[in-house]
Amino acid sequence: MSSMAQFVAFGGVVMLGAMSPGPDFAVVVRRSAVSGRAYGMAAALGISVGVFAWVVAAATGVAALLAASAVAFTVVKVVGAAYLLYLGVKALRSALRKGGELKLELPDPGRRSVWAAFAEGLLTNVLNPKAALFFVALVPQFVSSGASLSGTLVLSLIALAGTVAWFLVVANIVGTLRKVFARPAVRRAVDGLTGAALISLGVKLAATSRP
């Protein structure tokens, strides 16, 4: 696992995984649309740190233990599904409110709100056992059983960089169009769609069984 071709291939697969529609994408889009570009970028960074952690966990065997343990898998699945449902219900409640001034939909006021967006992205990714299954299947294709720490770190940084790049693009595009999303009707539509998507993903995650 030392050739540049393998690094590029790994980065490409991770990028494709990041681009696929899912809770990470929904969270970044809603956070960018509702709270602005900086908050969307904070959520994107949180998701990327989660991806970094999953690659390290997969390379060291921790993620494989999670996938192999019925109890651990179920606990993470239930907590993750509950968190997605919570985010989805919160978004739907915002969609049902009347128009008015655009307000941040973050749990903490002031500067700490950016950290709340970061935590939202991080938790959305880390509490998704599907991410564990994805990296458990992917990482062994690029990391041998006797892989060095440096090789594992390089892969983790590649996954981090690729995920950051994609979601920062999403956050900036949506953030640039925030004036459009600030319109009450558009904002309610975004909240309604992302809320429904997050609830659907939460229900789907809750019904997921170990392979």
Q: What is the pLDDT of residue 122?
A: 92
* Banded pLDDT at 107 (limits 50, 70, 90): very low
Query: Is 134 within the bounds of a domain?
Result: yes
DSSP states along 49-115? HHHHHHHHHHHHTHHHHHHH-HHHHHHHHHHHHHHHHHHHHHHHHHHHS---S-----SS-TTHHHH
- Give residue-wise pLDDT tens across range 23-58: 888 889 888 888 888 899 999 999 999 988 888 888
Query: Is 12 within the bounds of a domain?
Result: no
Query: Is 11 within the bounds of a domain?
Result: no
| Integer Cα distance of 164 and 159 in angstroms | 8
pTM of the full structure: 0.70
Report the number of distinct structural domains present in the chain: 1
- Give residue-wise pLDDT tens across range 131-186: 777 777 777 677 655 556 676 778 788 888 888 899 999 999 988 887 777 677 77
More confident: 193 or 126: 126
Query: Is 1 within the bounds of a domain?
Result: no
Query: Is 100 within the bounds of a domain?
Result: yes
| Integer Cα distance of 105 and 102 in angstroms | 9
Q: Which domain holds residue 55?
A: 24-206
| Integer Cα distance of 52 and 161 in angstroms | 9
